[in-house]
Amino acid sequence: MGPLDQYRYLTDARHRLLDHIRALTPEQYGQSFPFGLGSVRRTAHHMAGAEWYLIGQLAGGPSGDYPFASQRCPDFASLDRAWREQEPRTVETLAAERDWDRALEFTVTVPSKQVYRVKASSLEVFTQVCFHEVHHRSQVMAMLRQMGVPVETLDFLLLACEVTERV
pTM for the full predicted model: 0.92
At residue 105, the pLDDT reads: 96
Query: Is the confidence at residue 51, as pLDDT, over 90?
Result: yes
Q: Give the mean model confidence (pLDDT) for residues 42-53.
A: 96
What confidence tier does 158 reach under pLDDT thresholds 50, 70, 90?
Answer: confident
Q: Share the mean pLDDT of the chain.
A: 93
At residue 77, the pLDDT reads: 97
Q: Give the mean model confidence (pLDDT) for residues 17-21.
A: 97
At residue 155, the pLDDT reads: 78
**Residue-wise burial string across 106-120, b where 16 or more C-beta atoms lie within 10 A, e elsewhere:** beeeeeeeeeeeeeb
Residues in CB range of 89: below 8 A, 6 or more apart? 55
Instruction: Locate all alpha helices (DSSP H) within 2-155, ordered by sequence.
Output: 3-22, 26-30, 40-58, 76-96, 122-146
In angstroms, the CA 58 to CA 33 distance is 33
Distances (CA, A) of 107 to 45, 46, 118, 134, 146: 19, 16, 6, 22, 35
What confidence tier does 31 reach under pLDDT thresholds 50, 70, 90?
Answer: very high
Query: Is the confidence at residue 9, as pLDDT, over 90?
Result: yes
Domains in the chain, please, with CATH? 3-159 (1.20.120.450)
Q: Give the mean model confidence (pLDDT) for residues 28-56.
A: 97
63-67, 84-88, 125-129, 145-149 — which is least confidently predicted? 63-67
